């Protein structure tokens, strides 16, 4: 602002001087005044320009210093604000690197696990196919059913050769031979036959079928196979070849879903089984049945043990009573011996020692005095309650009333 005022003042002064000179001698001195005015204006302009440049340079220097100082302060403030963000970003970068390394490691582990799972699935699929193929063979199915039946019997606590007999041979009245899988012996001498059946052909085909119509057809076949097994098993009439056997036979199905699947297709299977005296049982059902039988055996063993304990108690009582009689007889004999001893001592003191001491008084003895013999005053102890063990004649009573 100061520079602008200075320039305007110089211009006004120059203009005034020129106008005065021009008014005095407009004609003769016009050229001189113009030259002088131009020189004065140029000099003033130069001076003003120099001053302006100095002031501008000074102002710009001050502004530059202030701007540099302010910029430094702002840079420090910005650095103090940015430093935590920079540190946080550095930590985030470290964490991201760790996460990336962990992701790579996890990815490799997952890949390895998936490969192992894939190999296991392939192995399981091959084994499942082999199992299905094996189960389609009648002999293998039958053996599998027998193994499952044995396992169920063991889980139920039916010890072999004690509570059940495996694969006994039975003969009908016509001489035909039958071999049921298991004959369960019940308490009281009764027996129940359990035969394992594995009708799986239709069931396996139904599980492999992808078409609903084909699956329904195979399920119908499965139900028919179960019904045929029940009819064949009922026609054998095992209860006629066994003594004291209830008129029934248990058909063991080694899978929980086998009979239920057949029952869904043929709701009259239960009634048909009752008519044929054949009762289907899954592993859980048979375990419950065998546990009930095992409980009956346990109760019978407890009853037998109680009877044996009673017999042993009676025998022990009789033997104690007999031994008590012997002890009482011994006590009587000891008491008689004591009395005889006391009589002998009394006779010895009153008749023998009196005469012997007279030899001492006459000087015929050089030995010490003969000691005095004391009588026995302790009597043998009588057995308490012995009278309760004897009858009115003094004889020992037994539990059974024998003497």
Torsion of CA 326, 328, 332, 333, to 10 degrees: 20
pLDDT score for 67: 74
Tell me what the pLDDT averaged over the chain comes to.
Answer: 75
What does the DSSP 8-state code read for residue 351? I
Determine contact, residues 40/14, Cβ cutoff 8 Å: yes
Contacts 24+ apart (CB under 8 A), 266-273: 266/223, 266/224, 266/226, 266/227, 269/223, 269/226, 269/227, 269/230, 272/227, 272/230, 272/231, 273/230, 273/234
Are β-strands 249-252 and 278-281 bridged in parallel, bridged antiparallel, or unpaired?
parallel
In-domain check, residue 200: yes
Does residue 248 lie within any of the structural domains? yes
Residues 120-178: tens digit of each pLDDT: 877 776 666 666 665 666 666 777 777 788 888 788 777 654 445 555 555 555 555 66
The DSSP string of 35-83 is HHHHHHHHHHHHHHHHHHHHHHHHHHHHHHHHHHHHHHHHHHHHHHHHH
Residues 261 and 154 in one domain: yes
Local structure of 102: helix, strand or coil: helix
What local confidence, expressed as pLDDT, does residue 129 receive? 65
* Residues 263, 346 within the same domain: no
What mean pLDDT is predicted for residues 281-293? 86
Same domain, 368 and 320: yes
Contact in structure between 327 and 383 (CB atoms under 8 Å): yes
The set of long-range contacts for 52-55, using a CB threshold of 8 Å and a minimum separation of 24, is 52/3, 52/7, 55/2, 55/3
Domain boundary among 250, 281, 312: 281
Q: Which residues of 261-288 are buried (b: 16+ CB within 10 A; e: fewer)?
A: bbeebbeebeeebeebbbbbbbbebbbe
258 and 314, same domain (yes or no):
no
Determine the Cα–Cα distance for residues 357 and 180; give it in Å rounded to an integer: 103
Residues 269 and 144 occupy one common structural domain: yes
Residue 241 shares a structural domain with residue 323 = no
Judge if pTM exceeds 0.75.
Answer: no
Q: Which among 5-14, 335-344, 357-366 has the top mean pLDDT?
A: 335-344
pLDDT for the residue numbered 348:
76
The C-alpha atoms of residue 17 and residue 199 are separated, in whole angstroms, by: 138
Q: Which of 215, 250, 281 is the last residue of a domain?
A: 281
CA angle 313, 315, 317 (to 5 degrees): 70
Report the CATH number that the domain containing residue 227 is assigned in CATH.
Answer: 3.40.1350
- The predicted structure's pLDDT at residue 19: 60
Q: Is residue 32 part of a domain?
A: no
Domain co-membership, 222 together with 334: no
The whole-number pLDDT of residue 162 equals: 43
338: Cβ contacts below 8 Å, ≥ 6 apart:
376, 378, 379, 380
Cα separation of 222 and 209, whole Å?
13
Q: Say if CB 179 and CB 168 are below 8 A apart.
A: yes
**Cβ neighbours, 10 Å, residue 13:** 13
**261 and 315 fall within a common domain:** no
Q: Is the pLDDT of residue 252 over 70?
A: yes
First to last CA, the chain: 156
Domain match, 157 and 247 both: yes
Check residue 338 and give its pLDDT: 82
- The answer on 250 and 201 residing in a single domain is yes
pLDDT of residue 18: 57
Element (H, E) at 192: strand 191-196
Which residues, 6 or more positions from 369, have their beta carbon under 8 angstroms from its beta carbon?
Answer: 360
DSSP secondary structure letter of residue 396: B
Mean pLDDT of 50-58: 74
pLDDT one-digit tens code per residue, 223-235:
898 899 899 888 8
Q: Give per-residue pLDDT as tens, 362-378.
A: 766 656 666 666 777 77
On whether residue 131 sits in a domain, the answer given is no
More confident residue, 156 or 24: 156
pLDDT band of 16, cuts 50, 70, 90: low
- What angle, rounded to 10 degrees, do the helices at 269-276 and 212-236 form? 10
In terms of Cα–Cα distance, which of 256, 257, 399 is closest to 322?
Answer: 399
- Is 300 or 230 the better-scoring residue by pLDDT? 230
Q: What angle do CA 361, 362, 368 make, to 5 degrees?
A: 50
Q: How many other C-beta atoms lie within 10 A of the C-beta of residue 349?
A: 14
262 and 311 share a domain?
A: no
Tokens linked to 63:
């502004």
159 domain residue, yes or no: yes
6 confidence band (pLDDT: 50, 70, 90): low
CA angle 302, 303, 306 (to 5 degrees): 85
Distances (CA, A) of 339 to 49, 329, 345, 351, 353: 171, 15, 10, 18, 20
| pLDDT score for 136 | 64
The closest of 246, 229, 241 to 169, measured between CA atoms, is 241
Q: Are residues 258 and 310 in the same domain?
A: no
Provide mean pLDDT across the span 263-287: 89
Q: Give the model's pLDDT for residue 29.
A: 59
Instruction: Indicate whether 5 pLDDT > 70.
Output: no
Residue 387's pLDDT band, with cuts at 50, 70 and 90, is: low
Q: How confident is the model at residue 272, as a pLDDT?
A: 92
Domain count along the chain: 2
Q: What are phi and psi of 278, to 5 degrees?
A: -120, 125
Residue 265 belongs to some domain of the structure: yes
Of 249, 281, 313, which residue is a domain's last?
281
Residue 21 lies in a domain: no
What is the reported pLDDT for 373?
A: 67
pLDDT at site 24: 56
Please tell me the predicted confidence (pLDDT) of residue 163.
45
Does 297 fall in a domain?
no
**Structural domain span for residue 162:** 137-281
pLDDT in tens, 179-223: 777 888 887 778 888 888 888 888 878 888 888 888 888 889 988
């Amino acid at each position: 602002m100061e520079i602008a005022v200075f320039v305007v003042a110089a211009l006004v002064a120059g203009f005034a001087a020129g106008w005065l000179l021009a008014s005095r001698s407009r004609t003769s001195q016009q050229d001189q005044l113009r030259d002088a005015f131009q020189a004065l204006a140029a000099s003033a302009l130069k001076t003003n320009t120099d001053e302006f440049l100095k002031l501008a340079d000074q102002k710009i220097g001050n502004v530059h210093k202030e701007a540099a100082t302010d910029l430094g302060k702002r840079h420090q403030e910005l650095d103090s604000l940015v430093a935590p963000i920079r540190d946080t970003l550095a930590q985030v970068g470290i964490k991201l690197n760790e996460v990336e390394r962990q992701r790579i490691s996890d990815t490799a582990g997952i890949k390895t696990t998936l490969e192992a799972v894939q190999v296991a699935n392939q192995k399981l699929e091959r084994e499942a196919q082999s199992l299905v193929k094996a189960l389609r063979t009648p002999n293998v199915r039958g053996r599998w059913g027998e193994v499952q039946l044995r396992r169920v019997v063991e889980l139920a606590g039916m010890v072999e050769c004690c509570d059940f007999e495996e694969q006994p041979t039975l003969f009908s009245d016509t001489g035909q031979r039958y071999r049921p899988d298991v004959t369960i012996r019940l308490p009281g001498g009764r027996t129940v036959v359990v035969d394992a059946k594995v009708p799986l052909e239709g069931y396996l085909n139904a599980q492999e079928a992808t078409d609903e119509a084909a699956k329904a057809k195979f399920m119908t076949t499965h139900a028919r196979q179960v019904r045929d097994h029940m009819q064949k098993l009922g026609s054998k009439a095992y209860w006629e070849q066994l003594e004291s056997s209830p008129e029934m036979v248990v058909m063991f199905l080694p899978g929980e879903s086998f009979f239920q699947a057949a029952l869904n297709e043929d709701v009259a299977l239960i009634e048909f089984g009752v008519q044929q005296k054949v009762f289907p049982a899954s592993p859980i059902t048979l375990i419950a049945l065998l546990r009930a039988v095992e409980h009956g055996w346990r109760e019978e063993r407890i009853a037998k043990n109680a009877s044996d304990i009673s017999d042993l108690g009676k025998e022990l009582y009789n033997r104690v009573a007999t031994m008590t009689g012997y002890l009482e007889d011994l006590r009587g004999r000891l008491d008689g011996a004591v009395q005889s001893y006391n009589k002998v001592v009394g006779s010895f003191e009153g008749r023998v020692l009196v005469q012997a001491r007279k030899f001492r008084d006459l000087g015929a003895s050089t030995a010490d005095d003969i000691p005095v013999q004391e009588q026995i005053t302790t009597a043998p102890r009588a057995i308490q309650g012995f009278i309760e063990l004897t009858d009115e004649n003094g004889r020992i009573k037994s539990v059974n009333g024998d003497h």
